[in-house]
Amino acid sequence: MVDITDKEVTSRVAVACTKVIMKPDTLAQIKAGKIGKGDVLAVAQVAAIMAAKKTADWIPMCHPLPLTGINILFSDNGVDELYIEGSVKTTGKTGVEMEALTAVSAAALTVYDMCKALQKDMVIGPTQLVAKSGGKSGDYRMPSSE
């Protein structure tokens, strides 16, 4: 791991996103609450929070961090794409980019797990860092594709 002993404590935020592409009927059943395993978005939200809190347990070079906030948002295009955005906050010596990326990945994998009986060919991704603030390297915002 990188030695962060001499780094300054700052407020840090990272936002990541991903999407799950699926058949329109799968998305409709998620939104209607008709998936046999339960409320897909509620379970995916809990999975995302749990994963963010445990990132250092399965990403070898990550520092364990005391997270001060995690927010997971879901939206969709009304047809065949479910969007997942995760925002993670801390006050510390290292950033929370990996925690945000882990959160949205876990949420997407949970959606897949809960819906795989209905559809096995769902596609996850791209998964990417949208923005980050705080720390020595300063702020970052993903360049606009427009």
Residues classed as catalytic: 113
Peptide bond before residue 64 is cis, with ω within 30 degrees of 0: no
**Strand, helix or coil at 50?**
helix
97-115 helix and 40-53 helix, angle to the nearest 10 degrees: 150
Backbone angles phi, psi at 24, to 5 degrees: -55, -40
